[in-house]
């Protein structure tokens, strides 16, 4: 008999399989109404791209055109700066989680408006920070130890004239045809002992109570993955970062998954604040998704209607959506260290869920995970209480 399947949106089961906490996602039953997602973000210091291409009522990068599918206009600048503040909130004020010590040279890959690079340079005045991006939208005047370059990190060599102690990536899910190659480039341009860190999220929203099932938000996950297939982009690839870093030779690889709510439906006040930031970020992002929806096969009118329905779903207080935020970092080993990489067959086995993202997961995987956890717990108990090793 075939085991029942787990839906892509079933956070209650998938959080167990993927090993992250959702205990903070408790619904506030008294919260019943949400104002519109239309808000005015603080003005960004980013500037207009001189080589921008107008399309779908927005502007997009002209440098190596067609490599990236989100806008680069002032509206997007403000959203990206808001998103930066959201990520710092999720990370309890931190710019990153990797244990980087006294960095001298740092690179912010796909820097966007340059806000992360600028703030990192300000907080680390003894290091130099380089931000690279397809769009030259970063402010011309800023902190003296931060500079920017227009560069395609996937298709061009990294001729920066120096190596780095820290390479930072954020929100790469819609970027790159070949992410593992980009990660290997980053490795080759790090000093021994240098760190790489990635903050990202798969495109599929989830819920613990099934409240997004049948909504436009669930449909967006399917549409986004369909667009990714057409464009050669894996919209679930954050789930593969840990394996890819290990295969690239990084050591001490750490993966943290944080469940971040969309909107203010949680009881916890900190989660309400995160949810508010997430809500306004996503609401603004929807306005820039048309190219992706068109790539999935929608007509222009169908895409506009679909995007309106997503925004309406986001405003629905009965929808308790959240997103998985993956924070993955690793260290480039010293010459005297042997990097630990998974054998090919083990890597493929470990990654089967991410590679087969279009196929639902079975209860068998959850049962196996539970058995392994019980086994490890029993071993720990025997070791700690009875002094036995098994």
Model pLDDT for residues 97-123, shown as the tens digit of each residue: 999 999 999 999 999 999 999 999 999
pLDDT, average across residues 255-273: 97
Contact (Cβ atoms closer than 8 angstroms) between residue 97 and residue 170: no
Which pLDDT tens digit goes with each residue over 122-154?
A: 999 999 999 999 999 999 888 999 999 999 999
4 CB neighbour count, 10 Å cutoff? 11
What one-character-per-residue DSSP string does 110-156 give? T-TTSHHHHHHHHH-TTSEEEEEESS--S-SS--TTEEEEE--TTTS
What is the spatial distance between Cα 74 and Cα 119, in angstroms, rounded to a whole number?
A: 20
What is the spatial distance between Cα 85 and Cα 39, in angstroms, rounded to a whole number?
A: 15
Residues β-bridged to residue 196? 167, 330
Which pLDDT tens digit goes with each residue over 356-367?
A: 444 444 444 444
Packed helices 11-18 and 363-386: angle between N→C axes, nearest 10 degrees:
50
DSSP H or E run through 229: helix 216-231
Instruction: Provide the 3-class DSSP secondary structure of residue 175.
Output: coil
What is the spatial distance between Cα 390 and Cα 382, in angstroms, rounded to a whole number?
A: 8
- pLDDT tier, 6 (very low <50, low <70, confident <90, very high otherwise): confident
Handedness of CA 15, 20, 23, 28 (dihedral sign): negative
- pLDDT tier, 353 (very low <50, low <70, confident <90, very high otherwise): very low
What is the spatial distance between Cα 290 and Cα 295, in angstroms, rounded to a whole number?
A: 9
134 Cβ neighbours under 8 A, 6+ residues apart: 61, 63, 64, 67, 68, 110, 150, 151, 152
Tokens at 94, concatenated: 């931190």
What is the spatial distance between Cα 388 and Cα 58, in angstroms, rounded to a whole number?
A: 65
- pLDDT tier, 346 (very low <50, low <70, confident <90, very high otherwise): very low
Which pLDDT tens digit goes with each residue over 15-29?
A: 999 999 999 999 999
What is the spatial distance between Cα 8 and Cα 22, in angstroms, rounded to a whole number?
A: 16
Average of per-residue pLDDT values in the chain: 88
Burial of 162 (0-12, 13-18, 19+ CB in 10 A): exposed
pLDDT, average across residues 287-311: 97
Distance set, CA 188 to CA 2, 154, 193, 332 (Å): 46, 13, 12, 9
- pLDDT tier, 40 (very low <50, low <70, confident <90, very high otherwise): confident
pLDDT number for residue 133: 96
Residue from 316, 291, 314, 312 nearest 303 by CA:
291
∠ CA(332), CA(333), CA(338), 5° rounding?
140
- Write the DSSP symbol of residue 240: G
pLDDT number for residue 135: 96
281 CB neighbour count, 10 Å cutoff? 21
pLDDT number for residue 66: 87
pLDDT number for residue 350: 43
Give all strands (DSSP E) within the chain, no chain letters. Answer: 5-6, 53-55, 58-60, 105-109, 128-133, 146-150, 164-170, 190-200, 206-207, 251-261, 321-331, 361-362
């Amino acid at each position: 008999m075939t085991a029942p399947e787990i839906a892509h949106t079933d956070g209650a089961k998938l959080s167990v399989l993927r090993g992250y906490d959702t205990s903070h996602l408790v619904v506030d039953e008294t919260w019943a109404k949400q104002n519109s997602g239309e808000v005015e973000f603080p003005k960004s210091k980013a500037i207009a791209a001189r080589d921008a291409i107008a399309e779908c009522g927005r502007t997009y990068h002209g440098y190596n055109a067609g490599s990236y599918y989100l806008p680069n206009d002032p509206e997007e600048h403000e959203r990206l700066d808001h998103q930066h503040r959201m990520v710092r909130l999720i990370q309890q004020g931190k710019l990153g989680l990797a244990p980087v010590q006294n960095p001298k040279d740092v690179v912010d890959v796909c820097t966007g408006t340059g806000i992360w690079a600028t703030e990192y340079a300000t907080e680390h005045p003894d290091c130099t920070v380089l931000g690279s991006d397809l769009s030259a939208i970063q402010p011309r005047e800023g902190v003296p130890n931060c500079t920017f370059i227009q560069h395609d990190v996937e298709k061009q060599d990294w001729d920066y004239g120096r190596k780095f102690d820290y390479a930072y990536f954020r929100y790469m899910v819609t970027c790159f045809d070949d992410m593992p190659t980009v990660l290997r480039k980053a490795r080759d341009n790090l000093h021994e002992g240098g760190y790489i860190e990635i903050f990202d999220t798969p495109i599929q929203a989830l819920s613990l109570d099934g409240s997004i099932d049948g909504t436009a938000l669930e449909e967006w996950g399917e549409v986004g993955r369909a667009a990714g297939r057409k464009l050669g982009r894996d919209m679930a690839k954050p789930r593969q970062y840990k394996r890819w870093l290990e295969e690239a030779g990084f050591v001490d690889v750490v993966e943290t998954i944080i469940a971040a709510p969309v909107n203010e439906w949680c009881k916890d006040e900190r989660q309400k604040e995160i949810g508010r930031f997430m809500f306004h970020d996503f609401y603004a992002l929807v306005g820039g998704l048309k190219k992706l929806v068109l790539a999935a096969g929608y007509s222009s009118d169908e895409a506009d209607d679909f995007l309106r329905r997503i925004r309406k779903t986001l405003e629905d207080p009965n929808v308790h959506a959240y997103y998985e935020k993956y924070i993955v970092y690793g260290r480039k080993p010293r010459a005297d260290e042997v990097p630990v990489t998974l054998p090919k067959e083990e890597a493929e086995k470990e990654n089967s869920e991410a590679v087969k993202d279009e196929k639902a997961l079975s209860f068998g995987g959850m049962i196996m995970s539970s058995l392994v956890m019980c086994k490890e717990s029993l071993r720990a108990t025997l070791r700690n209480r009875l002094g036995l090793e098994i």
